[in-house]
Each structure stands twice: as structure tokens, then as C-alpha cells.
């Protein structure tokens, strides 16, 4: 374990929950914050359920699960995060939302605390400049689902100090994850490559080249991907996919990153994938049914 003892997490969605899960299992005290108390409680219940699956498959002892869940505390106010040595922001992929959080959070934090973001795409340098601690700000980008995926991308902003980088490296190692370092360019490494592939799959659907089922089957069986690209888009969240494509399009000014109009339409409909029970598949029944 690194010198970090208490980790604050902002956003109790799928990523914040997953990060809390692995931090608690690694022995950290976790403070989980979200806009509403109800959202945090739902997040903790999901973590507990995911750990129970690990117990059921023999990967975890129930005693360890209970102790880990006991290390996750609900942070009802942002000021509760003042006890944290490291705060990881995993709120919605929207720059204005993240900026607003930092403006409220920074005056409440321990001056020595490291502030990290789990952003999928947004410039670390630009986000850091909105805080009082650009030298102690860094991108720690986990992959979804966090308890299962081995990789973490570390992204330094222009001002990130070596001490912050080393502390982040030690923290990632303590979670038994493998890290890669990415330069601070739009969407970093994984999403620079993955999201245009997903966007292209949506164009393939939009242009009628194949149905949802045909496209996903083609990539699962033809390229050995564990999930088809449309299934994966639903899993990531279509709002997050669209935000990442917009960051790529704006940041690299290249039309090859133009978000597919069909992706925009699904997001405008509020069909965001798994989290709203409808996206390229409808999840409201027993088995997912393609929506096109």
C-alpha cells in the first residue's frame, strides 16, 4: 500500500462504484460522494452485489467482502472528502460538470491531497488549470468493469509534478493493476482507438450495412471481441461515447471523428444503454432485444 490511506471518490455511477470496489478490497478507507444520498446508497448496494458474485465464484472470501464493504463510507457532503489523501473524480463525462465540482471541492481539500480524474477523454492540462493544484492533479483512467479489467492509463498534465506521478503509480500498483502512460491528447490511448471503432459500427448500422445483431455477431466471432461494438457502446453508456467522440472531433479537428447522427439521436432520446435499460438493445425483458 502507498502512503495514501483514504481515497475520496466523486460519482457513485458504474466507474465510481468500480473504483470504490477495488480500493476497498486493497485496504483503503473509501469515502463515496454523489449528488444524492440515494445514488450513493444504490452505488454501495451495487458494489456489495458485485463482490458477492466474486464470493460465489470463489475469488473472494465472504469475510473479506464484509470487511471491504465496511471500509466504504457515504460522504453526504463534499466537505466530508477533506479527510482524503487522494480524491478521484468519476462524475459524468462533461467538462462543465467537472469544473463545477473542482471549484466547490478544492477549498475543502487537504492542501497536500492529490486530485485525480477518471475522465475518458478530456484534457488533463485544461482540467488541472481549473483547480488550485495543477501540480497535484493527474488522470487515473480505469477501464470498465473496474474489478475485472487490468489496465489503468496514467495521464500527466503539463504541470503534474513527479511526486504526484510516482504516488499515482504506487497507488495503481497497490490495486494490482497494470498501467500504461499516455500523453495528454484527446481520449488518450484506449479511447482514441476504441471509440472511433464503436462510432464506425454505429455508422455501419446507420447506413444499413448490417443489423445490430449482424454487426455485433460479426465482431464477436470475426474479430474475437468479447462484446460486439454496439453491445459495448451500451455497456460504456451512449452519453459517454458521444462525449468522447465530441472531444476527439473538437480536439483533433478532423472529420473522421464526426459522431454518427444515430448516436446523437439515441442520446437525445435518453436511450443511453444499460444504465437506462435501452440503447442499441432493449434490456427491459429477460434477454436483450435489438432496437433496430
Ligand X SMILES: CC(=O)CC(=O)SCCNC(=O)CCNC(=O)[C@H](O)C(C)(C)COP(=O)(O)OP(=O)(O)OC[C@H]1O[C@@H](n2cnc3c(N)ncnc32)[C@H](O)[C@@H]1OP(=O)(O)O
Based on CB atoms, which residue is closest to ligand NDP, 72 or 143?
A: 143
Which of 148, 181, 223, 289 is the binder for ligand X (CB under 6 A)? 148
Angle (CA) 159-163-164 rounded to 5° is 60
Q: Could you say whether residue 2 binds ligand NDP (CB under 6 A)? A: no
Q: Is 120 a catalytic residue?
A: yes
Q: Is 153 a catalytic residue?
A: yes
Min dist. Cβ of residue 196 to ligand X (A): 13
> Which of ligand X, ligand NDP, none does 12 bind, CB closer than 5 to 8 A by kind?
ligand NDP
Based on CB atoms, which residue is closest to ligand NDP, 65 or 141?
A: 141
Min dist. Cβ of residue 208 to ligand X (A): 26
Dihedral (C-alpha) 52, 62, 91, 251: value to the nearest 10 degrees? Answer: -80
Q: Could you say whether residue 194 binds ligand X (CB under 6 A)? A: yes
> Which of ligand NDP, ligand X, none does 149 bind, CB closer than 5 to 8 A by kind?
ligand X
Q: Could you say whether residue 246 binds ligand X (CB under 6 A)? A: no
Which of 29, 191, 199, 204 is the binder for ligand X (CB under 6 A)? 191
Residues 16-45 that bind ligand NDP (CB under 6 A): 16, 34-35, 39
Of the ranges 54-62, 91-99, 209-217, 248-256, which one interacts with ligand NDP (CB under 6 A)? 91-99
> Which of ligand NDP, ligand X, none does 75 bind, CB closer than 5 to 8 A by kind?
none
**R_g (Cα) of the chain, nearest Å:** 19
Grid coordinates belonging to 236: 460504456
Q: Could you say whether residue 228 binds ligand NDP (CB under 6 A)? A: no
Min dist. Cβ of residue 287 to ligand NDP (A): 22
> Which of ligand NDP, ligand X, none does 11 bind, CB closer than 5 to 8 A by kind?
ligand NDP
CA pair distance 66, 71, nearest whole angstrom: 9
Q: Could you say whether residue 118 binds ligand NDP (CB under 6 A)? A: yes
Per residue in 3-27, is it b (16+ CB within 10 Å) or e — as a string?
Answer: ebebbbbbbbbbbbbbbbbbbbbbe
Q: Is 21 a catalytic residue?
A: no
Q: What residue ranges bind ligand NDP (CB under 6 A)?
A: 10-16, 34-35, 39, 90-93, 97, 101, 118-120, 141-144, 236-237, 240, 275
Report, as residue numbers or ranges, the catalytic residues: 120, 141, 153, 191
Amino acid at each position: 500500500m502507498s502512503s495514501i490511506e483514504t481515497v475520496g471518490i466523486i460519482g457513485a455511477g458504474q466507474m465510481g462504484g468500480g473504483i470504490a470496489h477495488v480500493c476497498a478490497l486493497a485496504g483503503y478507507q473509501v469515502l463515496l460522494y454523489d449528488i444524492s444520498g440515494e445514488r450513493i446508497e444504490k452505488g454501495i448496494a451495487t458494489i456489495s452485489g458485485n463482490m458477492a458474485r466474486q464470493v460465489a465464484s470463489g475469488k473472494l472470501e465472504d469475510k473479506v467482502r464484509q470487511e471491504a464493504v465496511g471500509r466504504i463510507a457515504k460522504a453526504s457532503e463534499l466537505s466530508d472528502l477533506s479527510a482524503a489523501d487522494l480524491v478521484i473524480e468519476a462524475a459524468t463525462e462533461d467538462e462543465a460538470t467537472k469544473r463545477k465540482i473542482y471549484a466547490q471541492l478544492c477549498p475543502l481539500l487537504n492542501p497536500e491531497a492529490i486530485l485525480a480524474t477518471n475522465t475518458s477523454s478530456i484534457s488533463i492540462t485544461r482540467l488541472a488549470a481549473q483547480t488550485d493544484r495543477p501540480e497535484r492533479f493527474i488522470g487515473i483512467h480505469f477501464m470498465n468493469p473496474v474489478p475485472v479489467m487490468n489496465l489503468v492509463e496514467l495521464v500527466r498534465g503539463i504541470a503534474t509534478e513527479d511526486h504526484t506521478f510516482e504516488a499515482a503509480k504506487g497507488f495503481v500498483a497497490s490495486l494490482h493493476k497494470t498501467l500504461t502512460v499516455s500523453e495528454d491528447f484527446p481520449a488518450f490511448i484506449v479511447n482514441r482507438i476504441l471509440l472511433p471503432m464503436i462510432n464506425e459500427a454505429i455508422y455501419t448500422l446507420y447506413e444499413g450495412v448490417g443489423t445490430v445483431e449482424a454487426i455485433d455477431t460479426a465482431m464477436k466471432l470475426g474479430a474475437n471481441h468479447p462484446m460486439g461494438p454496439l453491445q459495448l457502446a451500451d455497456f460504456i453508456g451512449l452519453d459517454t461515447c458521444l462525449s468522447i467522440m465530441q472531444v476527439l472531433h473538437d480536439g483533433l479537428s478532423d472529420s473522421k471523428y464526426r459522431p454518427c447522427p444515430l448516436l446523437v439521436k439515441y442520446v437525445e432520446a435518453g436511450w443511453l444503454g444499460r444504465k437506462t435499460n435501452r440503447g442499441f438493445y432493449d434490456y427491459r425483458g429477460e434477454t436483450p432485444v435489438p432496437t433496430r
